[in-house]
Chain A
Amino acid sequence: GAVVSQHPSWVICKSGTSVKIECRSLDFQATTMFWYRQFPKQSLMLMATSNEGSKATYEQGVEKDKFLINHASLTLSTLTVTSAHPEDSSFYICSANQAGGPLAEQFFGPGTRLTVL
């Protein structure tokens, strides 16, 4: 099946620093990638939808200037958490759709656990 990787798998950083998370589709082209966030004991919440070559669409309540998304190629999307604070500590998961694939067929990355001290 299709494989999606994320890097890093975990990161610990100081408050105020920026953290970049990469999401790669390894064996398919992903025209659309999705970024989710999951706080402990809560559901995955969609943060933004990223389409290759265009600006990401952010969900209500997600600050686009704080969570910068770049989807410059068909196999790579990045999420940068700018000036991270402890409340940004969470599990960030990306997923990707194959080109032309149905929305339901999303392949999830293994997630990145961010801890901000």
Chain B
Amino acid sequence: RKEVEQDPGPFNVPEGATVAFNCTYSNSASQSFFWYRQDCRKEPKLLMSVYSSGNEDGRFTAQLNRASQYISLLIRDSKLSDSATYLCVVISFQKLVFGTGTRLLVSP
């Protein structure tokens, strides 16, 4: 079983739609959680950290459920520029562990 699992997608949505991605992790001792964005053939860039209380940054909302070992990312009012791969990342055993990512395609 992979340490961080994500649905690879792609998720095809029209502009303005709301879309949600999920991620599960296997190490219950993991302490820190993040969502990164990766554009094609580029390095990953930190999108936001994920806190137990849930957190919001503009159109993006992240949630963490420690009991279920589950992380989510909600994107509201999707823009064409949101098209990318979204990586779920967990700090486990003192290193960043990346999921394979979920690909999002936003169309006009």
Range of interface residues on chain A?
10 to 19
Tell me if A108 and B91 are in contact (CB < 8 A). no
Interface core residue of A44, A104, A113 (most chain B CB under 10 Å): A44
Judged by DSSP, the binding face of B is: strand
Tell me if B100 and A41 are in contact (CB < 8 A). yes
- B60 interface hit (Cβ, 8 Å): no
Q: A111 — nearest CB in chain B belongs to which residue?
A: B43
Tell me if A103 and B98 are in contact (CB < 8 A). no
Range of interface residues on chain B?
20 to 34
CB contacts between A and B, total, < 8 Å = 44
- A84 interface hit (Cβ, 8 Å): no
A103-B94, A103-B95, A104-B32 known; 14 new pairs, CB 8 Å cut-off, are A41-B100, A42-B100, A43-B87, A43-B98, A43-B100, A46-B95, A46-B97, A91-B41, A93-B43, A104-B34, A104-B49, A108-B43, A110-B42, A111-B42
Considering the chains assembled together, what is the distance between the CA atoms of A108 and B34 in angstroms? 15
